[in-house]
Amino acid sequence: MLKIGLTGGIASGKSTVLSYFKDKHIPFIDADVVAREVVEPGTPGLEAIRDLFGESVIHHDGTLNREALGQIVFYDEEKRQQLNTCIHGFIRQRIDTLTAHYESQLVPVLIYDIPLLIEGKWYEHLDTVWLVYVSPKVQVQRLMERNGYSKQDALARIDSQMPIDDKKSYADVIIDNNGSIQDLKTQLEQLWYTVLKPLYIDI
């Protein structure tokens, strides 16, 4: 099973790329979905957060109060790191379980959509890293157009992430999304026909 780590940056078009491969029925693991699953009511993940931050971050119905938790960790880097350390193991365990499931199904390709793929060293457990790349200038432009941000707001969001140019050295495949949708589709078609589709031939 080929394990592909898909990464990018804000407004790079990673969701568009993932949608293309979803349409090809390639299974994927979404780390954002996993992160929500491991803190659902009754899970060890939620109990670990309760132990760390107290009852104030739990709603009366037993669900996680994300707003209250955000207010704590957003302004305190140390507490944000504590939260990440607290739930990282639960996320890793869930992703490992999902991976084992897909391996048992003998799927030829599995895509991992993990926001902190490089920063969290997730890539070390995968076979290849595919980077959806746009220049920082294009990132700013697309964020302003898509979200209505000012240039300052767009830059602040971009600066909160690992610079996309720094991710290039980790990438085995760079999908250039500085051009048109058609340019992007042409690259994805090539990857599909030359890299991925041949893995399905023997099935």
What average pLDDT score do residues 33-53 get? 95
Whether residue 23 sits in one domain with residue 37: no
Q: Which of 106, 135, 155 is the last residue of a domain?
A: 106
Report DSSP state, residue 64.
B
What average pLDDT score do residues 87-98 get? 93
Cα distance between residue 203 and residue 192, in whole Å? 16
User: Is the predicted pLDDT of residue 110 greater than 90, yes or no?
Assistant: yes
> 57-85, pLDDT tens digit by residue?
999 999 999 989 988 887 788 998 899 88
Residue 84: its H or E element:
helix 77-104
Residue 141: its H or E element:
helix 136-147
| Single pTM value for the model | 0.86
> 3-12, pLDDT tens digit by residue?
999 999 889 9
203 lies in some domain:
no
User: Is the predicted pLDDT of residue 202 greater than 70, yes or no?
Assistant: no
CATH assignment of the domain containing 39: 3.40.50.300
User: Is the predicted pLDDT of residue 203 greater than 70, yes or no?
Assistant: no
84 lies in some domain:
yes
Q: Which of 75, 106, 137 is the last residue of a domain?
A: 106
Question: Domains in the chain: how many in total?
Answer: 2
Whether residue 192 sits in one domain with residue 117: yes
Residue 97: its H or E element:
helix 77-104
Q: Return the percentage of the chain with pLDDT > 90, whole number.
A: 75
Whether residue 149 sits in one domain with residue 91: no
Domain assignment of residue 17, given as a range = 1-27+109-197
Whether residue 79 sits in one domain with residue 47: yes
What average pLDDT score do residues 153-177 get? 91
